[in-house]
């Protein structure tokens, strides 16, 4: 901290810093033009690191990196630039030839070098040790394939077994539902997400509209939600030709509910917010994409309060009871840097707290220090404007899941059921912001030195 330097940082650490952490750390510091330039460069590196890149956007990405480098030349001295800085210009062209960056970076090879180094037993002959260790391991793996009924000894069961289909991990307890209204909401959520129940929901909605033609659409929807489960049970149970799964759903869940503090599903590890307060990790943030009546898809952000597992006989369906941030009233906002920020105190949608665990993706909420209340200089140093010194907003970052190698999965796209968050992007031309200043290269965080302002000299043309 005294030298203000990073030490022992590997290449992948620098990659994470540039694409994820530095844009957030710079939000509350540095002049606006300098901050926008560096964040735009980080946004460029974030975009080209995605698993899917639209070829039609390559020309725009090339313009972004050129603008960023030109702006950096107006901020930093010439000694800052070297060949590594210049190579950024060629990244977009390489993407057009070789594909996305993650297909031809060195991170997997660097990790495998650590495996090869473990084969070294004789430091005087490292190459021979690596070759011998590698061949020995290959021979053993080849022979094991021909050993029938092999039962490995001492190999524990993976803690991630069952992580894709759903598995409770922490704080399991069984409780009897005393709040039947809340249980009915959870049951309705399961019915609304079932393809087998969808035709019956449409039929019941038409029946309600025909019985109450003068009622508003809001009233009809509420009445439909309150009465559909009972109507479905009467409608389905008299029919012996229905699907077995539909029959179990129509009967409704058992009154006994399994509750967890931790749950693993879809390659994510989820915690309740109470469990998060006991842990050094954050696993309670969730995002779900929902389509409204007009066909518009919106992303809703929240955090998990409770984890339920409803018992429908042979069916065990996990649900998350969440607190959701309102989309209106600055609850969810996208700032000038393209980052999604939320106010976790602006809560809404209390009538729809449940979501199926398999439909959500994990997000992280990072404190936005630029929204922290400023000190009131007219008062004491310990006085702040506002109720406290905590930031008012949080920045949303996408969670990272690992499913390759879990439950013998080899194709990640097979389980990619939720769309990824769009990477942030700075749309403003940062070189224009810098060109509007009289001294774009001057620092504004101290009063030392002499600022040389640019002067405009009109030279008459001589014919």
Report pLDDT digits (tens) over 65-81.
Answer: 998 898 888 888 888 88
Q: In sequence order, what DSSP letters do the residues of 174-206 get, joined into one string? A: EEE---HHHHHHHHHHHHHT-TTTHHHHHHHHH
Side-chain-side CA neighbours of residue 101 (13 Å): 15
- Domain of residue 356: give its range: 167-196+243-415
Q: What is the pLDDT of residues 327-345, one digit of tens each?
A: 888 889 888 888 899 999 9
Whether 403 and 412 have beta carbons less than 8 Å apart is answered as yes
Residue at 73 is within a domain: yes
**What is the C-alpha separation between 166 and 415, in angstroms, rounded?**
13
Name the nearest CA neighbour of 372 among 359, 385, 356, 357.
385
- 19 and 115 together in one domain: no
CB atoms within 10 A of CB 343: 19
Residue at 307 is within a domain: yes
Residue at 444 is within a domain: no
For residue 396, report the phi and psi dihedrals to the nearest 5 degrees. -95, 125
Which helix H or strand E contains 170, and what residues bound it?
Answer: strand 167-170
Residue at 118 is within a domain: yes
**What is the C-alpha separation between 384 and 377, in angstroms, rounded?**
9
**What is the C-alpha separation between 262 and 270, in angstroms, rounded?**
6
Whether 344 and 383 have beta carbons less than 8 Å apart is answered as no
Name the nearest CA neighbour of 39 among 361, 445, 428.
428
| The Cα angle at residue 108 between residues 135 and 22, in degrees rounded to 5 | 155
Whether 362 and 285 have beta carbons less than 8 Å apart is answered as yes
- 262 and 377 together in one domain: yes
- 312 and 398 together in one domain: yes
Q: What is the pLDDT of residues 398-413, one digit of tens each?
A: 887 776 556 566 566 6
**Residue-level pLDDT at 454:** 55
Residue at 180 is within a domain: yes
**Residue-level pLDDT at 160:** 61
Residue at 173 is within a domain: yes
- 338 and 383 together in one domain: yes
Query: What is the chain's length?
Result: 463
- 253 and 392 together in one domain: yes
Give the predicted TM-score (pTM) of the model. 0.78
- 327 and 375 together in one domain: yes
Q: Which residues contact 305 (CB under 8 A, 6 or more apart)?
A: 272, 273, 321, 322, 323, 353
In the predicted model, residues of the chain with pLDDT beneath 70 are: 150-162, 293, 374-388, 403-419, 430-463
3-state secondary structure at position 305: strand
**Residue-level pLDDT at 127:** 93
- 91 and 114 together in one domain: no
Number of domains in the chain: 3
DSSP-derived secondary structure letter, 423: P
Rounded to the nearest angstrom, the gap between the alpha carbon of residue 43 and the centroid of all alpha carbons in its chain is: 16
Whether 265 and 358 have beta carbons less than 8 Å apart is answered as yes
Whether 150 and 236 have beta carbons less than 8 Å apart is answered as no
**What is the C-alpha separation between 68 and 40, in angstroms, rounded?**
7
- 50 and 128 together in one domain: no
**Residue-level pLDDT at 384:** 42
Name the nearest CA neighbour of 371 among 351, 388, 394.
394
Whether 276 and 365 have beta carbons less than 8 Å apart is answered as no
- 254 and 388 together in one domain: yes
Residue at 31 is within a domain: yes
**Residue-level pLDDT at 382:** 44
Whether 46 and 424 have beta carbons less than 8 Å apart is answered as yes
**Residue-level pLDDT at 394:** 92
- 275 and 322 together in one domain: yes
Largest CA distance in the chain: 101
- 175 and 70 together in one domain: no
**Residue-level pLDDT at 383:** 43
Q: Which residues contact 452 (CB under 8 A, 6 or more apart)?
A: 439
**What is the C-alpha separation between 399 and 361, in angstroms, rounded?**
7
Whether 408 and 163 have beta carbons less than 8 Å apart is answered as no
**Residue-level pLDDT at 385:** 44
- 97 and 112 together in one domain: no
Structural tokens at position 132: 């011998």
Residue at 267 is within a domain: yes
């Amino acid at each position: 901290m005294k030298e203000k330097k990073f030490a022992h940082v590997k290449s992948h650490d620098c990659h994470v810093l540039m694409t994820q952490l530095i844009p957030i750390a710079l939000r509350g510091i540095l002049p606006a033009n300098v901050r926008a330039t560096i964040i735009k460069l980080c946004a460029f590196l974030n975009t080209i690191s995605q698993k899917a890149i639209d070829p039609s956007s390559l020309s725009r990405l090339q313009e972004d990196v050129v603008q960023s480098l030109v702006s950096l030349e107006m901020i930093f001295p010439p000694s800052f630039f070297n060949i590594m800085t210049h190579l950024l210009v060629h990244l977009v062209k390489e993407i057009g030839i070789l594909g996305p960056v993650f297909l031809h970076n060195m991170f997997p090879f660097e990790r495998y070098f650590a495996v090869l180094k473990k084969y070294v037993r004789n430091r005087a002959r490292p190459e021979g040790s690596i070759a011998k260790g590698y061949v020995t391991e290959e021979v053993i793996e080849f022979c094991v394939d021909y050993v029938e009924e092999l039962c490995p000894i001492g190999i524990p069961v993976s803690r991630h077994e069952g992580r894709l289909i759903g598995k409770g991990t922490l704080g399991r307890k069984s409780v009897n539902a005393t709040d039947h209204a809340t249980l009915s909401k959870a049951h309705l959520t399961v019915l609304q997400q079932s393809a087998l129940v969808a035709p019956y929901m449409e039929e019941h909605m038409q029946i309600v509209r025909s019985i109450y033609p003068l009622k508003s659409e809001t009233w009809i929807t509420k009445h439909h939600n309150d009465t559909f489960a009972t109507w479905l049970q009467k409608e389905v149970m008299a029919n012996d030709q229905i699907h077995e799964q539909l029959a179990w759903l129509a009967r409704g869940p058992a009154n006994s509910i399994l509750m967890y503090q931790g749950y693993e599903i879809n390659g994510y590890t989820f915690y309740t917010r109470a469990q998060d307060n006991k842990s050094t990790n954050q696993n309670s943030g969730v995002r779900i994409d929902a389509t409204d009546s007009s066909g518009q898809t919106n992303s809703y952000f929240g955090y998990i309060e409770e984890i339920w597992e409803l018992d429908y006989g042979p069916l065990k369906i996990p649900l998350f009871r969440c607190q959701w941030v309102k989309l209106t009233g600055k609850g969810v906002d996208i700032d000038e840097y393209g980052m999604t920020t939320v106010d976790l105190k602006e809560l809404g949608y209390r009538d729809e707290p449940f979501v199926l665990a398999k439909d959500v993706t994990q997000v992280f909420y990072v404190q936005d220090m630029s929204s922290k209340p400023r000190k009131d200089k007219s008062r004491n140093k310990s006085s702040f404007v506002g109720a406290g010194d905590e930031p008012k907003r949080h920045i949303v970052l996408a969670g990272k899941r690992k499913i390759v190698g879990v439950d013998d999965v080899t194709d990640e796209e097979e389980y990619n059921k939720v769309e990824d968050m769009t990477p942030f992007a700075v749309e403003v031309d940062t070189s224009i912001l810098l060109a509007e200043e009289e001294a774009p290269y001057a620092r504004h965080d101290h009063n030392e030195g002499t600022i040389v302002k640019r002067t405009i000299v009109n030279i008459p043309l001589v014919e």
